[in-house]
Structure 1
Amino acid sequence: MGRGHSHAVGDVKALVFGDSGGIGTAIADALRVRGSEVTGLSRRDGLELTNQQSVAAAADALGDQRFDLIFNATGALVIDGRGPEKTIQSADADAMAAQFALNATGVAMLLRYFSPLMRENARAVFASLSARVGSIGDNGFGGWIGYRAAKAAQNQIIRTASIEIGRKQKHHIVVALHPGTVETALTRDYADRYPTIAPEQSAKALLDVIDGLTPRDNGTFRDWKGNPVEW
């Protein structure tokens, strides 16, 4: 199945983490419009990415269900009122630990406990929202130490997991996705310098990107337009 022969996600069974947030809600809604069966999990359901037992229990509660698409829309730029640092002189150990716990370690826990729920012996996608600012190669401005580093760590987790998962299931695809600068609570105080897009536009574009993925794209990092992002 090459490019140009996309796998429509309209008839898939999907699991969306963070479906109570801006992008997650838009993704879940867009999938339902396409006719997909969608299961959503978020903090309102008791899912705490920073608590390993919580993630394990949430996966266990799904029993023998299998999914064609698992989409992680969780993440935070401001945690406990601490926004992104402007310089390395503002780096704070506790703030950085909180960033890693949610934006990196939390994603590793999702992969550990939920990737086994990807449909076996069939095309299945695990897509996780990362951020272009997590790119080490595409960093010309500095600042935002904790968030950048946590997203870079998530990218490494995604890349590493994709290799291991791909060895066991050749039809499985694990990718990191940059959603664009989306008009959400996460970006509200920081988006004035960048062109923004609505969550609905981002969701449609991201699902279009997912439609076109093949196993050759396993372990890649792409933006909402489908273009590769430098690690």
Structure 2
Amino acid sequence: MFDGLEQINALVVGASQGIGLGFVKQLLSQPQVSTLYATYRQPQTAPHLMALAAGSDRLKLLQIDVTQENQIVAGIQQIQQHTRQLHWVINCVGILHEDSLHPEKALRQVDPEQLLRYFQVNSLPTVLLAKHLLPLLKHSDRSLFAAISAKIGSIGDNRLGGWYGYRASKAALNMLMKTAAIEYSRKSPQTILTVLHPGTTDTKLSQPFQQNVAPEKLFTVDRTVTQLIEVMRQLSPADSGEFFSWDGSRLPW
């Protein structure tokens, strides 16, 4: 993906912690990345990100709640004041549990408000980003827009059931990106859209569910990000709209 490009402008959405923060660290280590934009929602949850920004003039922070379209628009307008094009965009925003929100084990636990919360965070931001980022991604260089999904959002691979809201919201994310990829192929054919399964990563999101994960299958953030960057580097426009695992294999819808 970086071949032939002297300078890269990138955007990491949801960069305050976990995989998003890992992407920021690794992209900052790449000399080709001239400007890196990173979003966070609340200052109190982003101390490490802010410390990185204080030590690098290449890292520009944007406070955005990506569940709010007006904030996405305002953030992209800020980027456009300084940058004419983006080459990599990675959306790492996602939710599995918070406060009283937990994955459902049975139908009796399905709650409409909790379902809406899953879709609000896991599904809608990516399609809104695709909607408003098109002018920054549409240029003569190859560009990439990736969203972190999850294998558990695969309908074809669902053999265990449960986790209704999380599964459905990730499946919706996959469909939204697949559909957006078709439109982008007409309007911005040099842009690759993809959804990625990172594997089980040692983050706050997965902590309550790590006891059943074999040690060799629980990845550090650094390993996850390294693997995903390698997958993204190998993608071509023919791969746009596809669903890939951390090892580069294609996943069923």
TM-score (norm 2): 0.85
Cα deviation code 1:42-91 (max 9, x no counterpart): 21343112211111111112125211100111111113431101112210
> What is the identity, as a one-letter code, of the residue corresponding to 1:58?
G
**CA distance in 2: counterparts of 1:191 and 1:141, whole angstroms:** 17
Residue in structure 2 matching 1:115, options 107, 125, 134: 134
Say which structure, 1 or 2, has more relative contact order (CA 8 Å, 6+ apart): 1
> What is the identity, as a one-letter code, of the residue corresponding to 2:10?
A
| RMSD over aligned Cα atoms | 1.5
Instruction: Name 1:164's counterpart in structure 2.
Output: 183
Residue in structure 2 matching 1:18, options 14, 20, 29: 14
**CA distance in 2: counterparts of 1:80 and 1:99, whole angstroms:** 13
CA contact (8 A) 2:150 2:198 kept: yes
> Secondary structure, in 3 states, of the residue corresponding to 1:95?
helix
Cα deviation code 1:86-127 (max 9, x no counterpart): 112210000000110111112111111123311512200000
Instruction: Name 2:198's counterpart in structure 1.
Output: 179
2:94 equivalent to 1:101: no
2:177 equivalent to 1:155: no
- The alignment covers a number of residue pairs equal to 226
TM-score (norm 1): 0.93
**CA distance in 2: counterparts of 1:75 and 1:157, whole angstroms:** 15
CA contact (8 A) 2:148 2:196 kept: yes
In structure 1, stretches of 5+ residues that fail to align are 1-5
> What is the identity, as a one-letter code, of the residue corresponding to 1:52?
E
**CA distance in 1: counterparts of 2:206 and 2:166, whole angstroms:** 13
Instruction: Name 1:62's counterpart in structure 2.
Output: 79
Identity of aligned residues (%): 31
> What is the identity, as a one-letter code, of the residue corresponding to 2:23?
I
Residue in structure 1 matching 2:66, options 49, 54, 68: 49
> Secondary structure, in 3 states, of the residue corresponding to 1:62?
helix
In structure 2, stretches of 5+ residues that fail to align are 43-61
CA contact (8 A) 2:41 2:63 kept: yes
> Secondary structure, in 3 states, of the residue corresponding to 1:117?
helix
2:106 equivalent to 1:87: yes
Instruction: Name 1:27's counterpart in structure 2.
Output: 23
> What is the identity, as a one-letter code, of the residue corresponding to 1:26?
G
The alpha carbon displacement at 1:10 in A equals 8.5
